[in-house]
Amino acid sequence: MLIAPRILLPQGSGRFVFLCDHASNHIPAELNNLGLTEFDLARHIAWDIGAAGVTKVLSDMFDAPAILCNISRLVIDCNRQLNAVDLIPEVSDATGIPGNLHLTDGAKATRLQWFHDYHNAVESVLLERELRGVETIAISIHSMTPSLGGKSRPWQIALSSYLDRRLTDPVLAALRLPNDVVVGDNQPYDLDPAVDYSIPFHAFRRGMQHLQVEFRQDEIAAPSGQHQWAVRFAQALVLSG
Ligand SMILES: [Zn+2]
């Protein structure tokens, strides 16, 4: 099925597991594109442009599992707490989402099932590694639009963290060391367990080391940029021990 999550290298030997919550702009056919145009579905509101490509390169480089959600964040946002107002957004970056208005309980239940299908896939990979006694570091890969609400974003790459900065601090230092890129530290987004779901649910709960990263979309729109930034990020991970 097209909407099943993609799992790359589920038995990968690397210590990282990559999550890509917003990998796809796919809308299941029965939702009629949520009433949006193809143009809007190609925009950042529907997915994290370039993030799936970066995730795939990182998975290959580290021989690490990756789980990629295969439905658009406009269908249901797999990185939102279940009580978040934008879990099934009625508006995204000033664009109304007609197909998300006045949902029946049955329609909501179907969306929630897709949410759980993705997170169950993540759990299956993490639990299987726990059973094998394999150490895991969870890394959540996102991308951000270069400007939002009329404000441009200088950060080419940004890390989002909460209280546990065991990995965030050394990776920030490694990214900044050559002093050739603009790196955000909890800008433009922090990691908020009241809002974000994936890292709090899968990693905080286990005390697992983790990282949440945002790549700016104009840097990773093309495969060449995805590869370059994946390599740059991978070097920072390796330098961070
Ligand atoms: Zn995202």
Q: What is the pLDDT along the chain (241 residues), one digit of tens a residue?
A: 457 999 999 999 999 999 999 999 999 999 999 999 999 999 999 999 999 999 999 999 999 999 999 999 999 999 999 999 999 999 999 999 999 999 999 999 999 999 999 999 999 999 999 999 999 999 999 999 999 888 999 999 999 999 999 999 999 999 999 999 999 999 999 999 999 999 999 999 999 999 999 999 999 999 999 999 999 999 999 999 7
Q: And the tokens for 220?
A: 């990773």
Alpha helices in the chain (DSSP H): 38-42, 51-62, 105-132, 168-176, 198-202, 217-220, 223-239
Domain boundaries, the chain: 6-239
d(CA 105, CA 64): 38
What DSSP element (H or E) covers 100?
Answer: none
Cα gap 65→11, rounded to integer Å: 7
The residues whose Cβ lies within 5 A of ligand 1, an ion, are 22, 48, 142
Q: Hey, what amino acid is at 19?
A: L
Output the pLDDT for position 1: 47
Expressed in angstroms and rounded, the spacing between residue 47 Cα and the centre of ligand 1 is: 7
Architecture of domain 6-239: 3-Layer(aba) Sandwich (3.40)
| CA 93 / ligand 1 centre spacing (Å) | 14
Residue 51 pLDDT: 98
The alpha carbon of 117 and the centre of ligand 1 are apart by a number of angstroms equal to 18
CA–centroid distance, residue 7 to ligand 1 (Å): 18
pLDDT at site 146:
95
What is the Å distance from ligand 1's center to 123 Cα? 19
